[in-house]
Amino acid sequence: MSYMIGLKCRECGRAYPKEVIFVCEYCFGSIEVDYDYDAIRRVLTKEAIARRPESLWRYRELLPIEGDPAVGLSSGFTPFFRSERLAERLGVEELYIKDDSVSHPTLSFKDRVVSIALTRAKEFGFDTVACASTGNLANSVAALSARAGFHRYIFIPSDLEMGKIIGSLIYRPTLVAVEGTYDDVNRLCAEIGSKYPWAFVNINIRPYYAEGSKTYGYEVLEQLGWRAPQHIVVPCAGGSLITKINKAIKEFKLLGLIDPDAHVKLYASQATGCAPIVNTIKERSDIVKPVKPNTIAKSLAIGNPADGYYATKTALESGGWGESVSDEEIIDAMRLLAETEGVFTETAGGVTLAVAKKLIEQGVIPRDESIVVCITGNGLKTQEPLLSRLGKPVRIKPTLASFESTLGEQLAGVPTKRRA
Ligand SMILES: *Cc1c(COP(=O)(O)O)cnc(C)c1O
Ligand SMILES: [Zn+2]
């Protein structure tokens, strides 16, 4: 049973059948999935959801598939927890971390969008899938398509981190490293996609793919006890995640799963070296000016974001804002999250936390209100910028004497066991 009615243009509202359509042929607006919310309201209760397995498919009535879930059956329902030590360091009362750094199977929130996209690609009868990626999408498409048995072509900029390259190659896709930026890769993929009959997850089946990001939002609301936080700080690359978290909140209100009067402010986070969305928010403009990326946050390095316009609108209309941070601030934030909460996030998570910290210090986010920080990727994939900054382990001979003489001062005053 599917509750997906069809597709519709986000701009002119024109309706389309639920096929492989991604731009409105009348106004070139982007295309979105439409659902029968009245029917969903009758079946999708809190109790029904709570009884289901802990994966992103527990919200399946709100996901754009026709039959049964076929790919990514173990993805989603990642940890969500209240922060104590980080909250204290930031000087705030109520802080939560939503942690997709441990997403199954490829340690980033992209497993959510790819689970949906590949399930839908199967329904459409595609035998080959492809994507243009800043790294995490490549890993997820490579892994999930291996298990689902697709042929796969994956396109990345040639300067990605080793963790992202190995994290794709291991699954044996055809991995194509393009000499250029992500925006060059994406342009090339649009051209390839118009020639070859492949499902480009983030291009021709993007309306379905993008819906997967809503599950990040649903989980935050459910895991907070069917309640909305007052502030959510979100990393932005193409700008889809922030708009889909907003859609998730709207849908849960509409379905009566959370307080319909809840007000959530959304904040866009980017690196200063690639901040087209944040720049547009600060100018309160409608026009996203493309930039040439230069940042260690490579997973967010999209200079011409597909959903930049909607991301800007979403942040401003929610009453939120946007901020950007330097590479130095990104690394400091990665270390802060690790040393206070034991979470090793990638550079994108460093961006989000550094932006949250900045907005709190600026007084934009009040210290006594509830705040969620979105952690979307894993630090093991972006080790390069840390290599020269974390120092080295203390090296000793395998003896107690070497241990004590090397640590020296550090052990002075450390209690030892009383001898019997
Ligand atoms: C892709 C990505 C994002 C941003 O996603 P968009 O929907 O393109 O804005 C955030 N964090 C990580 C780690 C990503 O890989
Ligand atoms: Zn239109």
Q: Look at residue 328 in the predicted model and tell me its pLDDT.
A: 98
**From 216, 241, 244, mutation site for ligand 1 pocket: most ligand atoms within 8 A of C-beta:** 241
Is there a single domain that holds both residue 259 and residue 182? Answer: no
With bands split at pLDDT 50, 70 and 90, how would you rate the model's confidence at 219? very high
* Count of structural domains, the chain: 2
| Span from the CA of 237 to the centroid of ligand 1 (angstroms) | 5
| Span from the CA of 12 to the centroid of ligand 2 (angstroms) | 4
Shortest-distance ligand to the CA of residue 8: 2
Query: Is a pLDDT exceeding 70 seen at residue 21?
Result: yes
Q: Look at residue 11 in the predicted model and tell me its pLDDT.
A: 94
Is there a single domain that holds both residue 183 and residue 326? Answer: no
Tell me, using a 6 A CB cutoff, whether residue 217 lines ligand 1.
Answer: no
Torsion of the alpha carbons at 79, 80, 86 and 91, rounded to the nearest 10: 170
Tell me, using a 6 A CB cutoff, whether residue 276 lines ligand 1.
Answer: no
Structure-token pair, residue 85: 């030590």
C-alpha span between 244 and 100 (Å, rounded): 16
C-alpha span between 162 and 170 (Å, rounded): 12
Report field, pTM of the whole predicted structure over 0.85? yes
Exposure letters 176-211 (e unless 16+ CB within 10 A, then b):
bebeebbbebbeebeebbeeeebbbbbbbbbbbbbb
The CATH number assigned to the domain holding 339 equals: 3.40.50.1100
The 10s digit of each residue's pLDDT in 79-100 is 999 999 999 999 999 999 999 9
Domain of residue 194, residue span: 4-64+111-209
- Average confidence score pLDDT of the chain: 97
| Span from the CA of 23 to the centroid of ligand 2 (angstroms) | 8
User: Does residue 394 fall inside a structural domain?
Assistant: no
Q: Look at residue 1 in the predicted model and tell me its pLDDT.
A: 82
Mean pLDDT to the nearest integer, 318-334 = 98
Is there a single domain that holds both residue 163 and residue 97? Answer: no
C-alpha span between 102 and 120 (Å, rounded): 24
User: Does residue 17 fall inside a structural domain?
Assistant: yes
Proportion of the chain above pLDDT 90, given as a percent:
98
Mean pLDDT to the nearest integer, 201-215 = 97
| Span from the CA of 27 to the centroid of ligand 2 (angstroms) | 4
Is there a single domain that holds both residue 202 and residue 214? Answer: no
Is there a single domain that holds both residue 164 and residue 194? Answer: yes
User: Does residue 399 fall inside a structural domain?
Assistant: no
Mean pLDDT to the nearest integer, 15-33 = 95
With bands split at pLDDT 50, 70 and 90, how would you rate the model's confidence at 418? confident
C-alpha span between 399 and 395 (Å, rounded): 12
Is there a single domain that holds both residue 117 and residue 224? Answer: no
| Span from the CA of 152 to the centroid of ligand 1 (angstroms) | 21
Is there a single domain that holds both residue 236 and residue 326? Answer: yes
User: Does residue 74 fall inside a structural domain?
Assistant: no
The DSSP code for 290 is P
Closest C-alpha to ligand 1, atom 10? 235
Is there a single domain that holds both residue 183 and residue 329? Answer: no
Structure-token pair, residue 373: 């920080």
Query: Is a pLDDT exceeding 80 seen at residue 419?
Result: no
The 10s digit of each residue's pLDDT in 229-276 is 999 999 999 999 999 999 999 999 999 999 999 999 999 999 999 999
The 10s digit of each residue's pLDDT in 108-138 is 999 999 999 999 999 999 999 999 999 999 9
User: Does residue 419 fall inside a structural domain?
Assistant: no
DSSP, residue by residue, 99-166:
EGGG-TTTSBTHHHHHHHHHHHHHHHT-SEEEEE-SSHHHHHHHHHHHHHT-EEEEEEETT--HHHHH
Q: Are 308 and 239 in contact (CB under 8 A)?
A: yes
| Span from the CA of 79 to the centroid of ligand 2 (angstroms) | 38
User: Does residue 88 fall inside a structural domain?
Assistant: yes
Structure-token pair, residue 287: 């026009």
Q: Are 229 and 372 in contact (CB under 8 A)?
A: yes
Mean pLDDT to the nearest integer, 321-350 = 98
Last residue of a domain, one of 191, 209, 227: 209
Shortest-distance ligand to the CA of residue 25: 2
The 10s digit of each residue's pLDDT in 47-70 is 999 999 999 999 999 999 999 999
Tell me, using a 6 A CB cutoff, whether residue 314 lines ligand 1.
Answer: no
Distances 186 to 96, 200, 202, 342, 384 between C-alpha atoms, Å: 34, 10, 9, 35, 25
Query: Is a pLDDT exceeding 70 seen at residue 420?
Result: no
**From 299, 304, 344, 374, mutation site for ligand 1 pocket: most ligand atoms within 8 A of C-beta:** 299
Last residue of a domain, one of 180, 209, 238: 209
Is there a single domain that holds both residue 204 and residue 214? Answer: no
HSE-CB of 173 using CA atoms within 13 angstroms: 32
Ligand 1: nearest atom to the Cα of 305 = 8
Last residue of a domain, one of 165, 194, 209: 209
User: Does residue 400 fall inside a structural domain?
Assistant: no
Closest C-alpha to ligand 1, atom 8? 238
| Span from the CA of 321 to the centroid of ligand 1 (angstroms) | 18
Q: Are 194 and 174 in contact (CB under 8 A)?
A: no
User: Does residue 286 fall inside a structural domain?
Assistant: yes
C-alpha span between 245 and 233 (Å, rounded): 11
The 10s digit of each residue's pLDDT in 263-292 is 999 999 999 999 999 999 999 999 999 999
Is there a single domain that holds both residue 365 and residue 336? Answer: yes
Tell me, using a 6 A CB cutoff, whether residue 236 lines ligand 1.
Answer: yes
Is there a single domain that holds both residue 163 and residue 216? Answer: no
Residue 89 CB neighbours (<10 A): 15
**From 109, 267, 345, mutation site for ligand 1 pocket: most ligand atoms within 8 A of C-beta:** 109
Is there a single domain that holds both residue 225 and residue 199? Answer: no
